[in-house]
């Protein structure tokens, strides 16, 4: 039985999946199985996975009986995974070589249900990444998740298989922020999610990706807020301001509408100056960048914020 079952939903990922597979095969911890759940790809994704599986018996190709990444993850984790821990990875992200070894160490030393690390954001070359996530030193709370979700991406979370069975999987009806809604349900049921300060994931920021649709992300967030309310937690003004700051930073990196970014930044600051400015450096830089960006030529804006 492998230590880790890695579940990877795949859809038309031919341009990136080989690089992602290589980052998994380069892990210092080699006791894993990779379950690639294809979601109806029409490019060469399935052929590339099948070819990789011929050379590495730990890799297997499966087909999503449902539709969408949530259904694919649920199918892989519930019906196909056999490892002690379930790690998720998207088909366009990269892992640092020690991610699984560090994750195994966390689980062996701490009684936690899930764990995650630090993320570096990149577009073409991870070595050029200049933006990194912040990892809290204490276990996640619902209010933290409602602010700036420190997990950031499903490629950054690993859960004990017994905890997955206890807390349940993803809601396939949630298209955006399904990971946030799932994390809130885990914490709301008493689950412990602890981060570590090591860089573990390179997240590919795509201007055209699903997670780049910021207004749609806001819509999906409403479902997560309702889940939090079901556990008696209402989103605070501070958490809402922090979330708006996160949207602004993401919009700047992806080159989204600069007027929209400035409006969201001002709305967040007015909603809770203390929340928006916590920590002060991040708040000040985000607000200044959103306002300054209104007058910058587009080529300068891309040079400043795209990394």
Residue 169 · residue 74 · CB < 8 Å: yes
Q: What does the H/E/C string look like for the chain?
A: CCCEEEEEEECCCCCCHHHHHHHHHCCCCCCEEEEEEECCCCCCHHHHHHHHHHHCCCEEEEECCCCCHHHHHHHHHHHHCCCCEEEECCCCCEECCCHHHHHHHHHHHCCCCEEEEEEEEECCCHHHCCEECCCCCCCCCHHHHHHCCCCCCHHHCEEEHHHHHHHCCCCCCCCCCHHHHHHHHHHHCCCCEEEEEEEEEEEECCCCCHHHCHHHHHHHHHHHHHHHHHCCCCCCHHHHHHHHHHHHHHHHHHCCCHHHHHHHHHHHHHHCHHHHCCCHHHHHHHHHHHHHHHHCCHHHHHHHHCC
Which pLDDT score, from 0 to 100, does residue 302 have? Answer: 53
Query: What span, in angstroms and rounded, lies between the C-alpha atoms of 155 and 7?
Result: 9
Residue 89 · residue 23 · CB < 8 Å: no
Which phi and psi (to 5°) does residue 228 adopt? -60, -40
* Superfamily (CATH) of domain 4-214: Spore Coat Polysaccharide Biosynthesis Protein SpsA; Chain A (3.90.550.10)
Which pLDDT score, from 0 to 100, does residue 1 have? Answer: 84
**Beta pairing class for 59-63 and 158-160:** unpaired
What predicted TM-score, i.e. pTM, was given to this entire model? 0.88
Residue 38 · residue 11 · CB < 8 Å: yes
Residue 240 · residue 268 · CB < 8 Å: yes
Which pLDDT score, from 0 to 100, does residue 299 have? Answer: 47
Q: What is the pLDDT along the chain (307 residues), one digit of tens a residue?
A: 899 999 999 999 999 999 999 999 999 999 999 999 999 999 999 999 999 999 999 999 999 998 999 999 999 999 999 999 999 999 999 999 999 999 999 999 999 999 999 999 888 888 888 889 999 999 999 999 998 899 999 999 999 999 999 999 999 887 778 899 999 999 999 999 999 999 999 998 765 444 456 666 666 788 889 999 999 999 899 988 888 888 888 788 777 778 888 999 999 999 999 989 988 888 998 898 899 888 766 645 554 554 4
Here the tokens at position 112 are 């936690």
Query: Domain coordinates of the chain in residue numbers?
Result: 4-214, 236-305
Query: What span, in angstroms and rounded, lies between the C-alpha atoms of 121 and 202?
Result: 6
Cβ neighbours for 111, distance < 8 A, ≥ 6 positions apart: 192
Q: C-alpha 275: how far from its chain's center? A: 22
Residue 84 · residue 160 · CB < 8 Å: yes
């Amino acid at each position: 039985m492998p230590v880790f079952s890695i579940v990877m939903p795949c859809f038309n990922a031919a341009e990136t999946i080989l690089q992602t597979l290589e980052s998994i095969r380069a892990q210092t911890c080699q006791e894993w199985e990779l379950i690639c759940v294809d979601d109806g790809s029409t490019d060469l994704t399935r052929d590339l996975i099948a070819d990789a599986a011929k050379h590495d018996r730990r890799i297997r190709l499966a087909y999503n009986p449902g539709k969408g990444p949530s259904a694919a993850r649920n199918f892989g984790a519930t019906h196909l995974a056999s490892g002690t821990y379930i790690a998720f990875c998207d088909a366009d992200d990269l892992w640092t070589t020690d991610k699984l070894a560090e994750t195994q160490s966390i689980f062996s030393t701490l009684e936690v249900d899930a764990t995650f690390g630090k993320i570096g954001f990149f577009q073409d070359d991870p070595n050029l990444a200049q933006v990194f996530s912040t990892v809290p030193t204490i276990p996640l709370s619902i209010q933290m998740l409602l602010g700036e979700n420190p997990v950031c991406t499903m490629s950054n979370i690993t859960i004990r298989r017994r905890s997955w069975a206890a807390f349940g999987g993803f809601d396939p009806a949630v298209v955006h922020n399904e990971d946030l809604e799932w994390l809130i349900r885990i914490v709301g049921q008493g689950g412990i999610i602890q981060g570590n300060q090591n860089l573990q994931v390179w997240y590919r920021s795509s201007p055209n990706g699903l997670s780049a649709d910021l207004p749609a992300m806001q819509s999906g967030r409403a479902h997560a807020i309702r889940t939090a309310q079901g556990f008696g937690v209402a989103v605070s003004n501070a958490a809402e301001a922090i979330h708006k700051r996160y949207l602004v930073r993401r919009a700047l990196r992806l080159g989204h509408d600069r007027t929209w970014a400035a409006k969201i930044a001002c709305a967040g600051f007015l909603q809770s100056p203390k929340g928006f400015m916590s920590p002060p450096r991040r708040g000040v830089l985000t607000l200044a960048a959103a306002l300054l960006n209104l007058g910058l030529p587009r080529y300068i804006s891309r040079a400043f914020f795209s990394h």
